[in-house]
Each structure stands twice: as structure tokens, then as C-alpha cells.
Amino acid sequence: MLNKLVLRALLSLSLAFSFAGAANATLISQDILFDSALDTVDEYQVIGNITISLDTMDENGYVEAGWESFTFYGFEADKDFDLFFAVVDITNITAGIESLDFDVTLFTDLSFGGYIDAYAFDPVLDNITYSFFNNANADLYDAGTLAFGAATVVPTPATLILFLTAVAGLASRRKNS
């Protein structure tokens, strides 16, 4: 009886660890909030969303390889970018992205650039951290200030696989008892 229990436990662990290596990495997703430079009231509206994969993060928490999803005004930004640099606190990934510096093209004629720092943000100051560039006539427009919304951290699917393996092991143990 004890041998069967140990054998089932080892089988469950080997199954769980075999699936854990194939699982996707953790994703961090945050809304991008915008306050127009023309507004006199500090009202932030969601204008986009950024999702990064921690697979592309180095040991210091820097992500320079790109994003999983980067949208502005409902449109996906091109994967060809001039600048993309995100920083994540590796000791607290649930806090989300600490800073984001980007210059991306949304359409052929329109590029967006900006900087968001989650911890050095002061809504009282009139810091313009977001602008767009018309590639057709080379005009640059200061648009306003950006901030991050709440972070959503999607955990690795390996956690779910470990849980389901444990439930299957308990179910088979109960069935045989």
C-alpha cells in the first residue's frame, strides 16, 4: 500500500514537472492613462494597454525585446519600434511596470513617443510625457501626460497544472480506498 502511494506521488510529480517546463511565462498587463495638455482638470482616460512577457526580461528587470501587445486608441502598434524600454521590479512583479520609455509607429504616418514613470509621477506639474509625430509632414505635437493604470499579473500556467495534478492524485487515492 505504501509502495503504491509513493509510486503515485512520484508519477504525479514527474507529470507536473514535465508540464511546468513547457508553460508560458508570466505576463504583466497595464492600461495606459492619458491627461491632455489642454485640459484644466486632471482627468485621465484610458488610451491604450501594454502587455509584456517576463520571458524577455533580463536579470535586472529590463525589457527591451518588445511587447506581447501594445495598443493605442484601439489600434495595435507595429512590432518595428525605434525605442522600447520597460523596467519591472523583479522582487515585486505584482506592482507592474515601473517605467516605460517608447517610440512606436501606429500607422505609417503617425508615431507615438512617451515616458511613464510609475513612482516619479506628480499630477501637479505640467510635465509633457507624451507626444506624437506626423511622419508625412514632420510635425511634432505635445499631447499631454501619461500614467499607468492598475497592473494585472497573469501567473504561469504551471501553477494550475500542479494544482490539477494534486487533485487527480487525491481523486485516484479516494477512489481506491
Is 123 a domain residue? yes
Is 58 a domain residue? yes
Domain limits for position 89 = 27-154
The DSSP call for residue 60 is: T
Is 80 a domain residue? yes
Q: What is the pTM of this model?
A: 0.68
Is 164 a domain residue? no
Is 115 a domain residue? yes
User: Which segments of the chain have a pLDDT < 70?
Assistant: 1-3, 5-7, 9-25, 37-42, 120-128, 155-162, 173-177
Phi, psi of 44 (to 5 degrees): -100, 135
How many domains does the chain divide into? 1
The alpha carbon of residue 123 and the mean position of all alpha carbons in its chain are separated, in whole angstroms, by 24
Is 133 a domain residue? yes
Question: What pLDDT shows up at residue 49?
Answer: 93
Is 19 a domain residue? no
Residue count of the chain? 177
How do 81-88 and 97-107 pair as beta strands?
antiparallel
Question: What pLDDT shows up at residue 23?
Answer: 45
Is 5 a domain residue? no
